[in-house]
Structure 1
Amino acid sequence: MNFKSENLTNFVCDIFKVVGISDEDSYTVADSLVAANLRGVDSHGVTRVPIYVKRLKEGATNPNPDVKIAKESDATLLIDGDDGMGQIVSREAMKLGVAKAKKSGGVHIGVTRSSHFGAGAYYVKRGVEEDMITFAMSNAPSTMAPWGGIQPYFGTNPYAYGVPAGKYDPIILDMATSVVARGKIIMAAQNGSDIPEGWAIDQEGRPTTDSQAALDGSVLPFGGPKGYGISLMIDIMSGVLTGAGFGPHINNIYGDYDKPQNVGHFFQLMDINQFMPAKEYKQRIDQMIEEIKSTPAAEGVEEIFVPGEIENKTEQTRLENGIDLDKEVYEGLKQVGKECGVNIEDYENVNQKT
């Protein structure tokens, strides 16, 4: 089924309103999910709506958190998310962080008592819009074994950064520290599809292409021990330093429905104007982009891309042509909508509700 992005956003927003989230906060969550679909990161898009709603209904997630500053200095913030939706908590953390960074030149933001925050690019883009070089990271429930082990300890612990450009789109990297985001394996299992070898191991530590065996086992870090080391550091910054859960002490989003997740995040923002005028900086980034894209391409490569460029092209295509949802995702949304008294059919097609 194909949806215009604004229709899909309205549908998801209306569902979250039904389960007790305010209008503004519902829009934030819906917008972040649809933004992921627009960029082609479907594993972090509206496929997450049913599990978010279940956790809200079960009381594991606070629909209206009192997000507040727990501790601060001139260049640091510790944010207490009050067990709220990660998107709501992170929006407030970024808002407070941008204001502080404009005064101090930069800020480090730790977040405790939060939950799954979706795609990191969503927050990075907001910092970039304020002429900030922005980093975002989060820990996650245990799904990845330490390098050489077979028992999951770390999450896929995503990492994102963004830098503004001038006449070009900003450079944005958003990645998991696993070979692939676990959400892609979940989607493969839902579809009954196999996964490529090298993505995961089973419970015995053997390489597997069986998506369900992969979910029962462990995803693998990208770059072997290098990805493991980066994942470790993200968990230290997001979990240990902030006072949030870390390693196996983060509750599973697809279980532990009676417990908050206690996910931690960490953001860094640097005001470009404290180093050079933002206009000059952006001209230099534009020069870099042009030079990278003009370097000779290897045989069989049509174009060299900078991080985020492919996602930007996908976003433009999906804004024009709509977002296609596969049958399993559509049926999941239809069912959760029915449970909430929100009929997905009222939001389908370009000429219906906008």
Structure 2
Amino acid sequence: MKFYPDQLVSFVSDVLQTVDLSVANSYIVAESLVSANVRGVDSHGVTRVPIYIKRLKHGIVTPNPDVKMIKETNAATLIDGDDGMGQIVAEKAVSEGVKKAKEHGSANIAVTRSTHFGAAGYFVKKALEEDVIAFAMSNAPANMAPWGGVTPYFGTNPYSYGIPASKHFPIVFDMATSVVARGKIISAEQRGEDIPEGWAIDKKGRATTDAKEALEGTVLPFGGPKGYAMAAMIDIMSGVLSGAGFGPRVRHIYGDYEAPQNVGHFFQFIDVNAFMPAAQFKQRVDQMIEEIKETTKAENVEEIFLPGEIESRTELERKQHGFDIGKEVYEALNETGKECGVNIEEYH
């Protein structure tokens, strides 16, 4: 079923308001989710609405959290997310981090007691609007074994950075530390499709292309021990340093409705103007982008892309022409909407 972004944002916002989110908070979450779809990262988009609603109804997510700064210096802040929706908490962290970076040149923000916050790249993009370089990372429920093991200990622990440019799209890198985000395996399982070999192993440590077996087993780190090392670092910064859960102490978003997740995040912000005028920096970034794209291409390669460029092009296309969310996602949203008294058919 085809939607335009504003239609889907309105639907998701209205659904979230039925489980007590304020209008403002519902739009923060809705815009984050739809932004992922608009950029072609459907695994982090509106497919998450049903599980968000379920967790809110179980009372283990605070619909309108009292997000507090509980420890603060000029360059660092520790934020308590009050078990709120991760997007609401992260929005506060970005606002605080950008403000501090503008005042002091840089800022580090650690977050405890948060939940799943969607696509990390969404938050670094917000900082770029203020000529602030941003890094965002988060831990996640244990779905990935340490390299050489079979017992899940780390989450897929996403990492993102953003660099502002002038004439060109900003550079926005956003990845999971697994070969693939677990959400893509969930999406494949929902569609009844196999996954490529090398994405995951089953619970006995054997390679599998069965999405259901993969979800019962563990995803694999990208680059083998390199991805494992990055996942560990992100968990230390997001979980250990912030005081949030880490390793298996971060509760799963699916199937665990006994207590809040206690996810941790970590953000870093650098004001470009602390080093050189932002216009000069962005011109230099433009120069780098152009030089990279003009380098000699490998055989059968038509164009070299910068991180996030394909997603930015997808965003332009989908904002103009709309996009199809897929039959399975539409049906799940339709069912969730009915449960909440919101008719999705009225939004497109």
Q: State the TM-score, normalizing by the size of structure 1.
A: 0.98
Mapping of 1:1-354 within 5 angstroms? 1-348=1-348
Letter in 2 for 1:90: A
Paired amino acid for 1:220: L
- Structure 1 residue 11 displacement after superposition: 0.3
**Pairwise CA distance, 1:149:** 0.2
Q: Deviations over 1:169-218 (max 9, x none)?
A: 11000000000000000010111100000000001101100000000000
Q: Deviations over 1:270-317 (max 9, x none)?
A: 001111111110110000000000001100101000001000111111
Per-residue Cα deviation, 1:130-170 (whole angstroms, up to 9, x for no partner): 11110000000000000000010000000000000011111
- Report the CA distance between 1:255 and its aligned residue: 2.0
- Distance across 2 between alignment mates of 1:265 and 1:346: 36
Residue type of the alignment partner of 2:89? V
Q: CA deviation at 1:258?
A: 2.3
Q: Distance in 2 between matches of 1:102 and 1:284?
A: 21
> Offset at 1:325?
1.2
Shift of 1:72: 0.5
Structure 2 counterpart of 1:254, one-letter code: Y
The unaligned stretches of length 5 or more in structure 1 are: 349-354
Secondary structure at the aligned position of 1:287 is classed as: helix
1:265 CA displacement: 0.2
How far is 1:347 from its partner?
A: 0.4
For 2:163, the aligned partner's letter is: V
Distance 2:169 2:320 in 1: 18
Name the SS for the 1:162 alignment partner: strand
CA distance in 2, matches of 1:239, 1:326: 35
When the two structures are superposed, what TM-score results if normalisation uses the length of structure 2?
A: 0.99
Identity of matched residues, %:
66
Structure 1 residue 64: deviation in Å? 1.0
Match for 1:190: what amino acid?
Answer: Q
Displaced runs of 4 or more, over 6 A:
none
Q: CA deviation at 1:112?
A: 0.2
Letter of the 2:62 counterpart:
N
Q: What's the RMSD between the two structures over aligned residues?
A: 0.5
Aligned residues: 348
- For the 8 Å contact 1:59–1:258, the answer to whether it is kept is no
2:16 partner letter: F
Cα distance in 2 between the residues matched to 1:126 and 1:270: 13
**What secondary structure, in the 3-state scheme, does the structure 1 residue paired with 2:135 have?**
strand
Once residues 327 and 170 of structure 1 are traced to their aligned partners in structure 2, the CA distance between those partners, rounded to angstroms, is: 32
Q: Secondary structure of 2:300's match?
A: coil
